Amino acid sequence: MSLDKATVRKIGFLARLEIPEEDLDGLAHELNGILGWVEQLAQVDTEGVAPVASVSQMKLFWRDDVVTDGEMPEKVLANAPDAADGYFLVPKVVE
């Protein structure tokens, strides 16, 4: 399969990355190169193989459902580009 400019623009939006119009062709070419290369996996017979999200052989452990951290709004907001009254500020969302 081959990516065209429109698809690159669409992926760019899904990834919330602004891509200048003049970069679309070049990126489509690069991404097609990489995707064409990874398509070699189609040659591998994976019939009956269960996919793995992690190869860790550990079982996820349980912990008590209790609060262990918190009560530090200043620290949480310390690196915020814009904050006020204990909140992060963002551009207006609701008209």
In the complex with another protein, which residue's Cβ is closer, 25 or 82?
A: 82
Q: Using CA atoms, how far apart are residues 3 and 5, in angstroms rounded to an integer? A: 7
Output the CA–CA distances (angstroms, integers) from residue 26 to 8, 13, 40, 44, in the order listed. Answer: 10, 17, 23, 30
Closest CA to 41 of 49, 27, 54: 49
According to CB under 8 A, which one of 2, 15, 67, 86 is a site residue for another protein? 15
Binding to another protein (CB under 8 A) within 38-67 occurs at 38-44, 46, 49-58, 60-61, 63
Q: Which residues bind another protein (CB under 8 A)?
A: 3, 7-8, 11-19, 27, 30-31, 33-35, 37-44, 46, 49-58, 60-61, 63, 72, 75-76, 78-82, 88, 90-93
